[in-house]
Amino acid sequence: MNSPFRTRPTPIRTMADGTVKQVNPFTGTEVWTVPGRGNRPLSHPAPHPRPLEETDHETFCAFCAGNLLSTPPEKSRLERAADGSWVQLDSLLPAQVTESVPEFRRVPNLFEIVSYDYWHQNFGFEMDPRTAERMLAYLEDPAGLDHVLAIVRTRMRASGEDPSTLGTAELLEHAPGYFAGGHDVIIARRHFTDDAVDDSQLASSGTLTPEEHAAFIRFTVDGIRDLYKRNRYAPYVVAFQNWLKPAGASFDHLHKQLVAIDERGNQSNLEIANLRQNPNMYNEWAVDYAGYQNLIIAENDHAVAFAGFGHRYPTLEIYSRSPVAEPWLQSIPEVTAMSDLIHACHAAAGADVACNEEWHHKPIDVDIPMPWRVLIKWRVSTLAGFEGGTKIYLNTLSPQNIRDRVVKRLYQLREAGMIAGGIRIATECSVERNSLKYNPLLNNN
Ligand SMILES: [Zn+2]
């Protein structure tokens, strides 16, 4: 095996002048942080915010709650019941969709990365009977038929095709992708915070309450489970969140994406090969190493967060300590613990900071245990030009700088009651080694 870790380099080395050289233990990515560039603020708030009009809370973009039929037919939604509990409703018809406002909804992506046709033509994929029934019921409903035809026309026009020459039957050939596709978007209700007065006050992951955020995470986890269940050819479901345009988001409206794919990707294959050599590598090379370097930011009973190293962008890493690899098989307290730390990390960065939230979990056909983990990468400016020739990336913030910024803010947020209870910060964290319990060999401790 051609592993770069036969002789493993030290993940973090601080030079005499203060330059911090990092190597990612899983990817081999080399990153330098040079001194004197890290004191700038992370975000650059909009210089000229525009006052909001009354309708902006409802119809600012296609994901807004006043435009529920601008997206393809909804697969599932999470509503708040009168008693405050959460209710999940699946497969609603258009009249039901607009009857109430969901807090979170899962809909097919209009511009899918991997299409229904891809699965159909390459694998002979056919939609499952339940989904076929759902599509039939939707198309038998006159408002449902109109909605699907409008979505197909919108999509064709967006790719430069003219739908006006096509009849209903031809347009409906595109319908299966909007019911049985493997690329979903999970959309939160708010575009702006409830008390926003101008368009700079966006509702982000960090502006949700911890309890709302936990519902968002559980609903996302359920979407992953559902995509695996409905496509036997998908060994992996990618989950991610792009926040703001510098991070690749098409709308500044909070949403996550799920994409079922037919490969694990090279990166993942390399990681799995390393894992076979050292089944305890996520404790040894990630969490415990971060502990030895004083990079642990926060923990609670079932998860831990630390300042990442060897990443192109400043990164926070949140690991589940659950012995269960699959997020959808974990207990509610375990999933909530992950949610609470993800939420706290977003709240600490603030809604102005563009970021990618990347989820990693054990591909469904992998036999060796891996922990669920989530990386939050701040898309703050980096220095161009240097990287191309060397493959050494310059990151303006060292792991220690990231830790200091986040820890300081977490204390303030906790004081203000803005993050979940049960979070221990920095020096309050336990010194337990091998605290990730994904590895069955460690579970007898
Ligand atoms: Zn919106």
Q: What pLDDT shows up at residue 6?
A: 52
User: From ligand 1's centre to the CA of 68, what distance in Å?
Assistant: 10
User: From ligand 1's centre to the CA of 401, what distance in Å?
Assistant: 33
User: From ligand 1's centre to the CA of 106, what distance in Å?
Assistant: 15
Which residues pair with residue 185 across a beta bridge? 107, 257
Question: What average pLDDT does the segment 70-85 reach?
Answer: 96
Measured in degrees and rounded to the nearest 5, phi and psi for residue 377 equal -110, 120
User: From ligand 1's centre to the CA of 41, what distance in Å?
Assistant: 27
Element (H, E) at 221: helix 210-230
The pLDDT-based confidence of 353 (bands split at 50, 70, 90) is: very high
User: From ligand 1's centre to the CA of 196, what distance in Å?
Assistant: 13
User: From ligand 1's centre to the CA of 60, what distance in Å?
Assistant: 5
State pLDDT tens for residues 6-49: 567 789 999 999 999 999 999 899 999 988 777 777 877 778 89
Both structure tokens of 304: 């831990």
In sequence order, what E strands does 86-141 have? Answer: 86-90, 104-108
State pLDDT tens for residues 210-233: 999 999 999 999 999 999 999 999
State pLDDT tens for residues 88-98: 999 999 999 99
State pLDDT tens for residues 132-185: 999 999 999 999 999 999 999 999 999 999 999 999 999 999 999 999 999 999
HEC string of 356-378 equals: EEEEECCCCCCCCCCCCEEEEEE
Q: What pLDDT shows up at residue 396?
A: 87
User: From ligand 1's centre to the CA of 137, what distance in Å?
Assistant: 28
Instruction: Record the pTM.
Output: 0.96
The pLDDT-based confidence of 3 (bands split at 50, 70, 90) is: very low
Q: Name the residue among 12, 371, 418, 29 with its Cα closest to residue 207.
A: 418
User: From ligand 1's centre to the CA of 37, what distance in Å?
Assistant: 35
User: From ligand 1's centre to the CA of 302, what distance in Å?
Assistant: 33
CA–CA gap between residue 42 and residue 255 (Å, rounded): 22
User: From ligand 1's centre to the CA of 57, what distance in Å?
Assistant: 7
User: From ligand 1's centre to the CA of 65, what distance in Å?
Assistant: 7
User: From ligand 1's centre to the CA of 241, what distance in Å?
Assistant: 15
User: From ligand 1's centre to the CA of 178, what distance in Å?
Assistant: 21
User: From ligand 1's centre to the CA of 202, what distance in Å?
Assistant: 9
